[in-house]
Structure 1
Amino acid sequence: MLHPRRSAQDVLLCDSCETFPLQCHCELCQINLCTNCVGKHLLDSSKRHNVVPFKQKKSTPNYPECPTHADKHCELYCEDCDVPVCINCVTTDKHRGHKISDILEKLGSKTQGLQNDLEELETRVYPRYEEMASDVQTEKANLETNYEQLTTAADQQEEIWHREITAIVNQVKSDIAEMKTKHMAALDKNTDEITHSITELKQIILNLKAILESNDISLISTYKSRNNEFRRLPPKVRVTLPSFSPQKINTDQLREMFGSLSPLSINTEEHDYTMKSPEAVLSPPVKPMKSPEAVSSPPVKPMKSPEAVSSPVKPLLDDPRLTATIDTGYGEHELRSVSCLNEDQVWTRGENETMKLLNLQSKLLTSIQTESGNVPGDIAVTRDGDLVYTDYIKHTVNIVKNKQIQTLITLQGWRPLFVCSTASDDLLVTMISDDHTQYKVVRYSGSTETQSIQFDDQGRPLYSSDYYDKYISENRNLDICVADTSAKAVVVVNQSGKLRFRYTGHPSNTEQSFKPVGITTDSQSHILTADWGNHRIHILDQDGQFLRYIHCDLRGPYGLCVDIRDNLFVAERYTAKVKKIQYL
């Protein structure tokens, strides 16, 4: 609010008497005075007043008030303590013998340092960050075209070859997608680092401008320069694009002769020079360092990110089609699991010690008996085509290589139930404690435990502890999906084990309540689970939203698996048959 006697139409008055027009200005006290009040103002000898004609007044620093001595301003600066002080502070024991300088001199040097920092950030550092961000965006814009060319090359080769190499074609496409994702992830990470630095630089520049404009000694004296931190630009990501090398067809060496991708090489390298201030000391050049993403693949199989899958979109069929039926030879109500070796052959297990490999014509190709003679708890096929099975009684997870059984994992205090093989060739095993009070999911790399999933963020169990079927599968986005029969729910956690959602069935009318058993996933990140009591399969999207049912006259669907071409295999418990269904 304006002073009642100082409107825009009136003469400005003395701050002291508020009667006569102002004519002078005290630069120390920052007040305006008339000639009558100047003498009275100078009588206060406790301060070093500096009274000048009002027209000669200049912008002066705001002397900070002394925190120790009331009514005193800090006009001096203690060099030893690096703090502003008043005239009384100098005589105290705390500052006795210290080097004392005029605060205006200190202000000058500090201000010059701020001005130099501001100039360097605005004219040299910030433009380089903008340039780097632009370069990364350009590279990302060209990335799609480069990888489309790779995929096209693989597709052209696929058209020439016969159906038996389809699995190899899809594997190569998967490798391309994985490389593309790593490439994009590396560029995204680089962009994030640069963008973060740009944001910080903008804020620092604004802060510096504000400090300089305020002329506030406190702000200036407490300012700490970060220019050294930003002079070294972030490393630039250098990626060597993979290339596809097609080979002539040789049916005896299909996988080797189909072609190979050169490794995706993601490295970071320092720039040719690092911007330095005029006072910077020269140092030897820094050798480029590989970032944690500097991997070569294949054969290295790192954990994929949730975005590490890029598959052609395949819409759901309105009417899924039954394309084959396999008679497994198990008795009625005995068939429990099915696991795909390829699109023509499946492993099955029932309520006895024998696991069978069958083709689409129901021909028995191989049979394996458990080493202990116990009924296998579950079966899975690894990326190398080896059969894995669990032995509840012996507390073991076993692998079959060249028809020889090896014990891969032996548990203490826990019993393994169901198992699946992951995209990174790990094993996920569901298990129950010996006393049947706890249940958890454990990830193994070979025989080494690398992850245990048991509780949610509030410490509550994720899974019921009842001894019921709990089939498990890993989705293409690396979610871990468990069909918890006794809980009447599909429980889905992310790669880190954090609960994403629970699916408890569709609200449509059912003959019986929803009790999921077998579970599998496909290239579209759909989750498929067998609702055996209601004789149908539920299809969910990756976020747990119900999409539709598969019926196909199923009779007690139990175990599920999907082959590399997204054909669904359903193990029917009531008929002991495996049905092959096309639903995409």
Structure 2
Amino acid sequence: MDPRTSAQDVMRCDLCETTVVQMHCDTCLVNLCTACVGKHMISDESKDHKVVKFQARKSTPLYPGCTTHSKQQCTMYCNKCDIPVCTKCLASDQHLGHKLSEILQIVDEKKDKILKEQTELKEKIYPNYKDIASDVKNRMSQLQKEYGDLSTAITKHGEDWHREIDKLVKKLRAEVDEMKNTQLQTLQKHLDEINKTMSDIKDEINAVEMAIDTNDLSKLFKVTSNVNIYRSLPQKLIPTLSKFIPEKIQEEKLGKMFGTLSSGSFTSDKDGYRMKTTQKSLEAGSSPPVKQLLDEPETVTTIDTGYEVLYNVACLSDEEIWTSGNDSTMKLYSINQGSLLKSIATKSGKEPYDIAVTKSGDLVYTDYWDRTVNIVKNEKIKEVIRLQNWIPKSVCSTSSGDLLVIMTSDDRKQTKVVHYSGSTEKQTIQFDDKGTPLYSSGTYYRYIAENRNLDICVSDNGAKAVVVVNQAGKLRFRYTGHTPAPKNKPFNSRGITTDSQSHILIADYNNDCVHIIDQDGQFLRYIDCGLSEPRGLCIDTNDNLFVAQLRNTQVKKIKYMC
């Protein structure tokens, strides 16, 4: 048996190809037996051969060759030129005065960066893609079921008709199957693309692992990462299911009277998938623990704010709240101690119209008087938005970290909601599909909040209603109160907020209570707890409600869910 070709053979010397490997040249990456070491050392005397025991191979760094000076190894790194350099490079004037580092230090830093990105790929990005693939599969399964239910409904309706319409039933069922297949094919294509990306990520992880494992530093410097590309998760395809609309049976116009199918389609929600996070606060779109409303909400604590009139409250954390009233000072209070921790005055010296806390924990306020929206960072006020011909009213921070601002025109005849990313206007919401204004005109109170399902909820005091639109600005519903109210007075909406269950909570100034409705506008219950003229509202991460009371200037913390 030829020892060089035996499947059970051990590793052999690269020179003689017969003797078992005992040594290794880290410079040339050659396996050697002891007898061939001398022969290898004199084979190329221009190299500094580093021969070590085979078990200790890759222990000697293989420095990159200098691109300027042949046969020179680069042991240093020029930080300004961002290249490896050799001793001859350093002796020249080319890098005079430049900051230099040992190349092994730069290698360690690059390894750390690569390993962090590899960890992100392994532990965060790839699992997210895996979850997305599972979500698409579930949607496909649900689509199968719902289209099956649709076919059954059509068949059942067809059984009530005469035999003459059997062909119409078959035609409509064929349309259902065609739409189902089309949408399934679209989702399958989407899934294939996701699986392809997942495969690419795995390949990149493997490539990084191989580069990290080698002692060939030139290969390491060639490693490039596509992690920035993979951070941008794919769009979320949501199929719009066709609906079967039956009609009463008549002898004429059978085709029209039997019923029609609305077109099935997809909507593409680019923000539908989000990276999972370990933040304490829940992101929009994630699944929070299911909670139940308490039969008897209870007041946990009361905080005196010291204002003459109290307007707004905003949760900074589960321990601290911001407040604002009828002067220029915004005050931060300890919830448990009820003590004042900090005060910030507006730049204009006027009272803020509304306050909110951004996703990053900064205070934001609207200044009605100088038409600005401002953010407070490290106790310094930065103007983010300055309006012309419009006056800002209420503001809220979105789950993506953007701002929603509701504003009125100078002549008070128009009201609109504007979505900002930083100072950039992304979207304006003002009219419904028929061109009718969504919001009232005039000098009324208006407050805004984003729900967990990304609906935009506006408490419109002028319309005596809560106006809810979806993320695209399409009207979903209007809530105009519930009868009987605690004091049997007309609904008078003020502050608005939402909780982890997508409930919408609205302060009712006339009835000294807070309304709770679900995300579709159905009334659930009232919270009163001895409230007096409720104005501003906010919710902490544990779903405790904070209510700012106008003239007694107290903030009440209320537990209403468990």
Query: In structure 2, what is the Cα distance between the partners aligned to 1:295 and 1:545?
Result: 28
Corresponding letter in the other structure for 1:237: I
Residues 479-494 of structure 1 aligned to structure 2 (within 5 Å):
479-494=455-470
What fraction of aligned residue pairs are identical, expressed as a percent?
53
Q: Deviations over 1:542-571 (max 9, x none)?
A: 000000000100111110000011000000
Question: How has the CA–CA distance of structure 1 residues 357 and 292 changed in structure 2, closer, same or farther, with 3 Å as cutoff?
Answer: closer
Residue 432 (structure 1) aligned to one of 408, 419, 422 = 408
- Whether contact under 8 Å (2:366, 2:394) holds in the other structure is yes
Residue 538 (structure 2) aligned to one of 561, 564, 572 = 561
Match of 2:430 in 1: 454
Residue 570 (structure 1) aligned to one of 547, 554, 557 = 547
Deviation, structure 1 residue 511: 3.7
Deviation, structure 1 residue 264: 8.1
Quick check: 1:517 aligned with 2:494? yes
Match of 1:316 in 2: 293
Corresponding letter in the other structure for 2:332: L
Query: In structure 2, what is the Cα distance between the partners aligned to 1:384 and 1:482?
Result: 23
Residues 272-291 of structure 1 aligned to structure 2 (within 5 Å):
none
Count of paired positions? 330
- Whether contact under 8 Å (2:420, 2:426) holds in the other structure is yes
Residue 355 (structure 1) aligned to one of 330, 334, 337 = 330
Q: Deviations over 1:220-275 (max 9, x none)?
A: xxxxxxxxxx9xx9335327699xxxxxxxxxxxxxxxxxxxx989679xxxxxxx
Residues 129-528 of structure 1 aligned to structure 2 (within 5 Å):
182-187=132-137, 234=189, 235-238=192-195, 297=275, 308-331=285-308, 334-360=309-335, 361-509=337-485, 510-528=487-505
Deviation, structure 1 residue 392: 1.1
Match of 2:29 in 1: none
Question: How has the CA–CA distance of structure 1 residues 293 and 464 changed in structure 2, closer, same or farther, with 3 Å as cutoff?
Answer: closer
Query: In structure 2, what is the Cα distance between the partners aligned to 1:577 and 1:351?
Result: 14
- Three-state SS of the structure 2 residue aligned to 1:362 is coil
Query: In structure 2, what is the Cα distance between the partners aligned to 1:408 and 1:514?
Result: 34
Query: In structure 2, what is the Cα distance between the partners aligned to 1:177 and 1:498?
Result: 33
Q: Deviations over 1:390-410 (max 9, x none)?
A: 111111100000000000001
Query: In structure 2, what is the Cα distance between the partners aligned to 1:293 and 1:395?
Result: 30
Normalised TM-score (structure 2): 0.54
- Whether contact under 8 Å (1:347, 1:355) holds in the other structure is yes
Question: How has the CA–CA distance of structure 1 residues 512 and 190 changed in structure 2, closer, same or farther, with 3 Å as cutoff?
Answer: closer
Quick check: 1:547 aligned with 2:524? yes
- Whether contact under 8 Å (1:343, 1:563) holds in the other structure is yes
Deviation, structure 1 residue 575: 0.8
- Whether contact under 8 Å (2:130, 2:198) holds in the other structure is no
233-242 vs 470-479, which moves further: 233-242
Q: Deviations over 1:467-492 (max 9, x none)?
A: 11111000011110011112110110
- Whether contact under 8 Å (2:129, 2:198) holds in the other structure is no
- List runs of 5+ in structure 1 lacking aligned partners: 1-174, 196-229, 243-262, 269-290
Question: How has the CA–CA distance of structure 1 residues 422 and 265 changed in structure 2, closer, same or farther, with 3 Å as cutoff?
Answer: closer
Question: How has the CA–CA distance of structure 1 residues 184 and 537 changed in structure 2, closer, same or farther, with 3 Å as cutoff?
Answer: farther
Q: Deviations over 1:131-187 (max 9, x none)?
A: xxxxxxxxxxxxxxxxxxxxxxxxxxxxxxxxxxxxxxxxxxxx9999897555544
Match of 1:581 in 2: 558
- Whether contact under 8 Å (2:364, 2:375) holds in the other structure is yes
Query: In structure 1, what is the Cα distance between the partners aligned to 2:418 and 2:548?
Result: 25
Deviation, structure 1 residue 297: 3.0
Corresponding letter in the other structure for 2:331: K
Q: Deviations over 1:267-304 (max 9, x none)?
A: 79xxxxxxxxxxxxxxxxxxxxxx97898836899xx9
Match of 1:37 in 2: none
Q: Deviations over 1:17-61 (max 9, x none)?
A: xxxxxxxxxxxxxxxxxxxxxxxxxxxxxxxxxxxxxxxxxxxxx
- Whether contact under 8 Å (2:132, 2:273) holds in the other structure is no
- List runs of 5+ in structure 2 lacking aligned partners: 1-124, 146-184, 202-229, 236-268
Cα RMSD for the two superposed structures:
3.7
Query: In structure 1, what is the Cα distance between the partners aligned to 2:307 and 2:497?
Result: 22
Corresponding letter in the other structure for 2:296: D
- Whether contact under 8 Å (1:190, 1:237) holds in the other structure is no
Query: In structure 1, what is the Cα distance between the partners aligned to 2:381 and 2:465?
Result: 34
Corresponding letter in the other structure for 1:339: A
Query: In structure 1, what is the Cα distance between the partners aligned to 2:293 and 2:127?
Result: 22
Match of 1:13 in 2: none
Name the larger-Rg structure. Answer: 1
Question: How has the CA–CA distance of structure 1 residues 176 and 359 changed in structure 2, closer, same or farther, with 3 Å as cutoff?
Answer: farther
- Three-state SS of the structure 2 residue aligned to 1:318 is strand
Deviation, structure 1 residue 503: 0.5
- Whether contact under 8 Å (1:481, 1:491) holds in the other structure is yes
- Three-state SS of the structure 2 residue aligned to 1:534 is coil
- Three-state SS of the structure 2 residue aligned to 1:319 is strand
- Three-state SS of the structure 2 residue aligned to 1:237 is helix
Question: How has the CA–CA distance of structure 1 residues 482 and 293 changed in structure 2, closer, same or farther, with 3 Å as cutoff?
Answer: closer
Match of 1:209 in 2: none
- Three-state SS of the structure 1 residue aligned to 2:510 is helix
Question: How has the CA–CA distance of structure 1 residues 298 and 319 changed in structure 2, closer, same or farther, with 3 Å as cutoff?
Answer: closer
Query: In structure 1, what is the Cα distance between the partners aligned to 2:396 and 2:406?
Result: 9
- Three-state SS of the structure 2 residue aligned to 1:317 is strand
Deviation, structure 1 residue 466: 1.5
- Whether contact under 8 Å (2:455, 2:469) holds in the other structure is yes
Deviation, structure 1 residue 574: 2.4
Query: In structure 2, what is the Cα distance between the partners aligned to 1:183 and 1:350?
Result: 49
Query: In structure 1, what is the Cα distance between the partners aligned to 2:482 and 2:497?
Result: 18
Query: In structure 2, what is the Cα distance between the partners aligned to 1:583 and 1:178?
Result: 34
